[in-house]
Structures are given as C-alpha cells and as structure tokens.
Chain A
Amino acid sequence: MYAFSYHNPKTVRQAATLLSKNAEGKVLAGGQTLLPTMKQRLASPSALIDLGHAEGLSGIEQKGRNIVIGAMTRHVDVATSAIVKNAIPGLAALAEGIGDAAVRNRGTIGGSIANNDPAADYPSAALALGATIVTNKRKIAADDFFQGMFATALEEGEIIVKVSFPIPSKAAYEKFPNPASRYALVGVFVAKKGSDVRVAVTGAGSNGVFRSKECEAALAGRFNAKSLEGVKVSASGLNADMHATSEYRAHLIPVMAKRAVTKALGK
C-alpha cells in the first residue's frame, strides 16, 4: 500500500468537508474492495475518510412503500433483516449470496453500489427495483446512477447516505456464480410492480449492469417462466473471458431470468 492520511469523521458533513479538502482522498466503507485494491497498488488515495464511525449511516427501515437501507449497512444485516425478508425477500437472498461470511460481515451496500463492479450483485437489485440512491447532495434514480464499468453518477465529494427500494409485488435474484470468486458470471434480478416488469443483468455486460429489453418484452405479456422460452439475447457487448464466452453469457441470461421468475412466483 502507498501511504495515506487517515480520518475518522463523526458525521457525514464532516466526511464531506474532509473529502473536499483532500482532492485525492476516498471514503472507506467496509474496505472489502478498496483495501485489496490498495494492497495491490491499483489505487493510491492520498487520504482515507473512514465512514465506520459516522452517525446515521446504517440501519434498515420501512417508510411507506419503500425499504430504506443506510449506506453503511453490512451485507449480513440486509441478509438477516426481518423487514427486508418480509418486504423484498429477493434482496435479502441476494445479500446472503455475496462473497463469503466474513466479507458479508464487513462489506456495505453503499460501497458496493458506489463501486459498481460489473460483476457485483447489488447494482442489479437497485436497477430492477427502480431504487433511489440518496447522497449528501441529491437523490439519483438507479436508471441514471449506473454509467458503465466502475462508473457512476457520483460527483467528486459526493457520499451515498442511503438507498431506497420501492417494494415490488414480486421479485427474485438468481446468480450463476464464478466458482472461484463467487462474483456473478451472470446474475439476473427480476422485479414486477403492477404491470411494470424490469429485468436487470449483472456480470454479463462489458459496460456493467443493464436491463434486458428482450426478457422484459417477453415478460410484459405474462409474468411466468414459460414466457421466456425461446428468448434470444444478443452476445454483442457482453463480456468474454477465461470463464465464459460472450455467447455463453448471452445464453445464461434468459436461463437465469427463468429461474428468477420461477422463484419470484414462489414455485
């Protein structure tokens, strides 16, 4: 690791001030992505502003028809939350499938969404559920938030404070994990709210999380696994690496979507 100065603000406001004073600084959440990257010297922030002791950033509550999750809420707390399990069981199950137990005990939803790893799980839930990302400055719709590989709408000095998920009528997530890393080779989150069906795909797109128009069109008529039979997804713009070709990933999208729909219907 390269040297950095360490700051331990007690409030989000203090954190924002520290961030504006340290142009090359970064906030530290669970550190489960940032610290390994720094250890490999792929990132070298001049300052780390640790959100671990800042007030009011963690917790889960239901507000009207939304589930609101604080940015510093750990994956394990989303996975085991009675509120989340009751309102959006697919979101709790997604959190339970991230990495391993020790990573879940430390990693946070804010860190995962801010990082926007093209194979991360949470971005697919945020996009499919039509979440709102609330920062210290504004509210950003998930549709506008994710802007490509590791790229988001966050500006310099902007800190995610919480994420608000509208409660769907039905939703579920299915991932085909990379057997070594457990990140998604392909992960599909389906959500139905009224007549609106959204299907978000992670792990497959070379530009990060995206909505599958093909699967959404097929499910618009009837929300069941049968509707997805014969659906073809184009391989263009999909990732290809030693783990899977873009054609294989394209094939997996409707397969995982089918499983997710079946799960969402509780079958």
Chain B
Amino acid sequence: MASVTMTVNGKQVTANVDPRTLLAQFLRDNLHLTGTHVGCDTSQCGACVVHVDGRAIKSCTTLALSCDGASVTTIEGIGTPDNLHPMQAAFRENHGLQCGFCTPGMIMSAIDIVNRKGHALDEHTIREELEGNICRCTGYHNIVKAVAQGAAAMK
C-alpha cells in the first residue's frame, strides 16, 4: 500500500491504495464518485474521462498514485442537478444522450475541447476531437449538436 493525496472537485483527499489502483477505481470505489464510468479495458471508449490539472485524460489508463499532488475534476465537480454546467444543459436540451453511459466522458471531453479550441466549434472539429469517446446509442448527431451549443453557451 502507498499513500496518495490529491484534490478532487476542490476537496483534498488522502488514502492508502494498492499501487495497481487506477484513477477510475480510486474515484469510484474509494470516493464513491460513480459518475466516472468504465466502459472498456482497451483505453478506447472514453467513458472514464476526467480532468487532471486541467487536461482531459482517461482515468482507466492512469494510476491513482501518478496523480499525487494533482487536481482532479470529475463530472460531479462541474455542476449540480439544480445548476447544470452549460455543457450538461446542452446535452439535455439536444437529446445528446440515451442510456447515458458515455455521457460523463463525453461532457468532460467536450469541456476540454472548448478549453483548447475555443467556443466556436464546427462539426468537423467536434467529430475529430471526439475520436476517443464511443457512444453505442445515439449515433453521435445529437452529441455533436450538444457540444456545439454547449461550447457557445460556455462563453
């Protein structure tokens, strides 16, 4: 076991973990932040995307111990049911989800796209940038619309 300390959604947490613990497991099992999903074991689906020090990463492909000292933001950290983040609101308005399994990762990736590429996102850019997020329900059209609208609303 080894000790790890990080800031998750603004709160400092310290825990003793097995070195094998992935950041996704740490968030879900230790902190009970189950909004971060695990949808594959090949690092391809993006359901597990969270922000570490402001960058979108796959929490299933990062050790919790590597995040010692880091600041982590999960889907639980960006809005509340009464006060949704503009990107969450855009997904709701545009019917950008069906079963919702991919949605937390989609939204965390979408916010990262806005952080890197700005608020005016064309369809081609959004589709290219969502390369690492797989949805088995929606067929993506409404996700793309939601990201464009959410990006503009984040201004």
Contacts and interface: CB of A to CB of B under 8 A. Distances in A.
Given A36-B43, A100-B132, A102-B49, A6 B57 contact: no
A86 interface: no
A220 to B, nearest CB: 36
Interface string B98-114: 00000000000100110
Given A4-B19, A8-B68, A106-B57, A101 B109 contact: yes
Nearest to A6: B19
Contacts of B109: 101-102
A172 to B, nearest CB: 19
A2 to B, nearest CB: 8
Given A31-B63, A52-B66, A182-B131, A102 B57 contact: yes
B132 A101 contact: yes
A110 to B, nearest CB: 15
A251 B41 CA distance: 34
What is the interface residue range for chain A against chain B? 20 to 34
A214 interface: no
Interface in B100-155: 109, 112-113, 116, 129, 131-133
Contacts of A5: 19
Contacts of A35: 22, 43, 61-63
Interface string A45-80: 000101011000000000000000000000010001
B56 A105 contact: yes
A80 B117 CA distance: 11
Nearest to A40: B41
Contacts of B57: 102, 105-106
B55 interface: yes
A103 B66 contact: no
Given A3-B20, A6-B19, A36-B42, A28 B66 contact: yes
A181 B131 CA distance: 10
Given A102-B58, A106-B57, A106-B61, A3 B66 contact: no
A102 B129 CA distance: 9
Contacts of B19: 3-6, 48
Given A100-B132, A101-B113, A105-B55, A6 B63 contact: yes
B86 interface: no
A101 B63 CA distance: 19
A182 B46 CA distance: 15
A39 B65 contact: no
Given A100-B131, A100-B132, A106 B62 contact: yes
Interface string A70-110: 00000010001000000000000000000111110110000
Contacts of B131: 99-101, 182
Contacts of A4: 19-20
Interface string A29-42: 00110011001100
A6 B2 contact: yes
A50 B49 contact: no
B61 to A, nearest CB: 5
25 contacts: A1-B20, A3-B18, A3-B19, A4-B20, A5-B19, A6-B2, A6-B63, A6-B65, A35-B61, A36-B61, A48-B19, A50-B63, A50-B65, A52-B66, A80-B116, A101-B109, A101-B116, A101-B129, A103-B58, A103-B132, A105-B55, A105-B57, A105-B112, A106-B62, A182-B131
Given A50-B66, A101-B131, 18 more contacts: A1-B20, A31-B63, A32-B43, A32-B61, A36-B43, A39-B41, A48-B19, A100-B132, A101-B112, A101-B129, A102-B109, A103-B43, A103-B58, A105-B56, A106-B55, A106-B58, A106-B62, A181-B44
Interface of A: 1, 3-6, 8, 28, 31-32, 35-36, 39-40, 48, 50, 52-53, 76, 80, 99-103, 105-106, 181-182
